[in-house]
Amino acid sequence: MKIDAVKWGGVLLVGLALMAGSAWAAWAWQANAYSQQLAAKEAAYQTERTNLANANSAQILAEQGKRFALEQWLAASDQSHYRALTDEKTKQARLRDRLATADLRLSVQLDTTATTGCDGVQTATGAGGVVYGAHRARLDPAHAQRIIGITGDGDQGLIALAACQVFVKKITDL
């Protein structure tokens, strides 16, 4: 009986050892399979993050390109606007100088239809000019200077307005 008990004890011990070994093997196999699943999910997540980062970088580069192009256009537009304003100021200064030196006189044509009693037909052109009507009044040089100043300011305003309109059109086209 003792031998049977030892025999059964050995069998039981071998069975327990086999069960423990198989449990450990199953545990190791499951841990390996789970680790592989986690590694695959981590790789997929990392790939997704890399793709998103690349897409963001591409979008940022595109926006930087647009901004650079807009800055270049603005610089060119600003130079053009400045050149137009400078040219207009130069023309106005020349005109004011010519008025100041009496090289040029401003005059206004008078309405002769009321004084002549005609039916609105203008008189013939004089021998020295191409303007119809002989009745003209010269403006005082100081008044002529003020008129030229006013028209100069108006011209500058129109140039600035045109530049603003071009700018707004360019911005809205983007």
Distance CA 6, CA 157 (A): 116
**pLDDT band at residue 5 under the 50/70/90 scheme:** low
Does residue 125 come out as left (phi exceeding 0), alpha (psi in the -120 to 50 range) or beta?
beta
What is the residue extent of each domain of the chain?
Answer: 2-115+134-173
What torsion, rounded to 10 degrees, do the Cα atoms 55, 60, 61, 66 define? 130
Phi then psi dihedrals of residue 126, to 5 deg: -75, 165
Residue for token pair 């004890």? 9
User: How do residues 36-94 score in pLDDT, each as one tens digit?
Assistant: 999 999 999 999 999 999 999 999 999 999 999 989 998 999 999 899 889 988 988 88
For residue 156, what are its two tokens?
A: 């500058």
128 DSSP 8-state letter: T
User: How do residues 98-152 score in pLDDT, each as one tens digit?
Assistant: 877 777 777 777 766 655 555 554 555 544 455 555 577 777 778 888 888 888 8
Rounded to two decimals, the pTM is 0.49
| Longest alpha-carbon distance in the chain | 160
Distance CA 174, CA 170 (A): 7
Instruction: Flag whether pLDDT at 1 surpasses 60.
Output: no
